Structure 1
Amino acid sequence: MRLRAGGTEVTVLPEDGCRLSSLRVGDAELLAQGDGSGSFVMAPWCGRTAGGVFRNGGTSHRLPLNAGPHAIHGTVREQVWQLADRSEDGRSAAFIVDLAEPWPYRGRVTQILELAPYGGALTLTLGVETAGDSFPAQAGWHPWFVRRLRPDGPEVTLDFSPAGQIVRADGIATTEVGEPGPGPWDDCFTMPDGVDVALRWGQELELRVTSREEWVVVYDEQEHAVCVEPQSGPPNGLNTHPRLVTGIQPLETSTTWSWHRPAAPVE
């Protein structure tokens, strides 16, 4: 399915985890192409859950291990979603999927995509709700942004000012927050005033990833792409920063990606 506004086109694949397979701004493709690329939804948890184990009150649950000794990135990225609504102007759409095994609780995840009328921004919204018992959950996005907009173009740079960087132990995020360190990164950063990360491809394009959430994972260890992942909690957050989804309080989170072409420097 494609959404369009201005000179922007977004392709979403509900049959493939509601993944965004393409984000084209004019003639520039912003998302890396191929299996596992684009931008996928992380829910009902983000990043690695240590040992694939989390607790809900006095009950312990074990998830399948799909990242070495850990469970990673939730379950809905591997499910088929359903179209719930689409605007007449073709700028927005809503998709739903029911939580299913191996997740131990009944519930539903909703993703809403909305392009700005002028085509200069995309807002993504996720909701997680229960269909029974309360449970801890997380939600977020894992976009793979291209290193270069064209083969001989400038390499993307990242500009952000985090307050702290989550300390890892054996590859797992802890509850300790340290000073931000230099890249390359596969790390979670804290931004208490909200996520705000700028990606710049020289003078070709600038993209800002913003969110009211305070957690963002930056992954730039691959040659073809960089990842800027706003999420409702840190990796292993089901254990360290649980956010409870109840019958009267769903989890809701959003991110906006906005872009513009920088003005040419004054000579």
Structure 2
Amino acid sequence: MLELRAENSVLVVLPEVGGAIGSWERAGHAILHPVSDPNLVAQKLRAVAAYPLIPFSNRVGYARFEFGGETFELARNFAGEPHAIHGNAWERSWTVAHREPARAVLSLDHAPPEDPAEQWPFRYRATIDYRLRDDGLSVILRVENTDRRPQPVGLGFHPFYPRTTEVELGFAADSVLIAGPDSLPAEQVAVEGEWRFSPMRPLDGPPLDNCFRGWDGSAFMRWPDRGYALTLTASEPLRHLVVFSPPGKDYFAVEPASNMTDAIHHPDDPNRGLVLLKPGEAVEATVEFALARL
């Protein structure tokens, strides 16, 4: 466990639990909400407040895909689902590559066959750079292809936030994917009516577990009952936004991601968000969180 401090902000980082954030608090307020999910078996019931999505976000349908003339089978790493979910970086122990009072850089080398190929069949090197400020946090994600062949890569970040009776959410997007019974995209519809979060509105509608597309890279959350707001901004190529608000829970998630759900099975979609990395190439993205008082 690493503890980063910047004036009134304290960030706990868990290198051995997928490089995750354990908690982020400022002046006694929980900015992120630690969640223990028994379906994510590799987290071993450890509560985490945010974790990286590498080398893909969301699901690979039925944990199987074809690429470069080969067929690959992945481990089903989410209890109760037939799919592979959120890549494998969250399942691994990361190394602390650099440490300062308010900064930590973590690294991970995934190298089959020494490492489990059923988690991901290609070699890659990932880094996370956490930079804490009193009024915010920067998260810089980087994935490099260290294999001898090209590979498809997506990336994202999965933060949880406290869900109170007054919390509000706002963002702009073009369309949203509607999932079928198998939790994979079945339909794409325009962002209208109950799907619309521009202007900002209370997060009080039906449960959501949806990927929004054509996101402009900014999202806004406000807690009037707690007196603060949080702005999330994400760089290219993070132009998908997953909103997860499960019923009856005291948290929700707003997750910037590069790729759509099950992107590997949508090769004809020019905006699916996967990046084809040749050997030695890398992709990088930054997620910024900025706090403000109301």
- In the superposition, the TM-score normalised over structure 1's length comes to 0.88
Q: How many residues align?
A: 252
Give distance in 2, aligned partners of 1:180 and 1:104. 39
Aligned identity (percent) is 27
> 2:19 is matched with which residue?
18
Q: Which digits, 9 at most, give the CA deviation of each residue in 1:122-168, with x for residues without a partner? A: 111111111122200111111111113xxxxx532211222211232
Partner of 2:288: 256
Partner Cα separation in structure 2 for residue 83 and residue 238 of structure 1: 31
2:152 is matched with which residue? 136
The answer (yes or no) to whether the contact 1:129–1:246 under 8 Å persists in 2 is: no
Is 1:155 aligned with 2:144? no
State the match for 2:246 in structure 1: 221
Q: How does 1:9-48 map to 2 (within 5 A)?
A: 9-36=10-37, 37-48=48-59
Q: What is residue 172 of structure 1 aligned with on the other side?
A: 184
**1:201 paired residue among 219, 223, 232:** 223
Contact 2:173 2:216 in 1 (8 A): no
1:82-107 alpha-carbon deviations (Å, 9 max, x no partner): 001123xx121110011232211111
CA contact (8 A) 1:198 1:209 kept: yes
Please tell me the residue identity of whatever aligns with 2:242: V
Q: Distance in 1 between matches of 2:278 and 2:261?
A: 21
For residues 135 and 68 of structure 2, the distance between their equivalents in structure 1, rounded to whole angstroms, comes to 44
Distance (whole Å) between structure 2 residues aligned to residue 62 and residue 82 of structure 1:
27
Deviation by residue 1:2-28 (Cα, 9 ceiling, x = unmatched): 111121111000011111010101110
| 1:83 corresponding residue in structure 2 | 96
Instruction: Give the Cα separation in 2 of the matches to 1:24 and 1:145.
Output: 12
Question: 1:10 is aligned with what amino acid?
Answer: L
Which residue among 125, 135, 139 is the counterpart of 1:124? 139
The answer as to whether partners of 1:84 and 1:94 remain within 8 angstroms in 2 is yes
More divergent stretch after superposition (238-247 vs 136-145): 238-247
Residues in 1 aligned to 2:35 and 2:213: alpha-carbon distance in whole angstroms? 30
For residue 131 of structure 2, what is the aligned residue in structure 1?
114
Structure 2 unaligned spans of 5+: 38-47, 195-205, 267-271
| Aligned mates of 1:246, 1:214 — CA distance in 2 | 22
* 1:57 equivalenced with 2:68 (yes/no): yes
Matches of 1:215 and 1:33 in 2, distance apart? 23
What residue number does 2:161 align with? 145
SS at match of 2:90: helix
1:248 CA drift (Å): 4.2
Using the alignment, how far apart are the partners of 1:4 and 1:190 within structure 2? 35
- Deviation of 1:121 (Å): 1.4
Contact 2:145/2:280 (<8 A) preserved: no
User: What's 2:105 paired with?
Assistant: 94
The one-letter code of the counterpart of 2:262 is N
Distance 1:35 1:185, change over 3 A: closer
Contact 1:165 1:181 in 2 (8 A): no
Calculate the TM-score normalised by the size of structure 2: 0.80
CA contact (8 A) 2:172 2:215 kept: no
Aligned to 2:263: 237
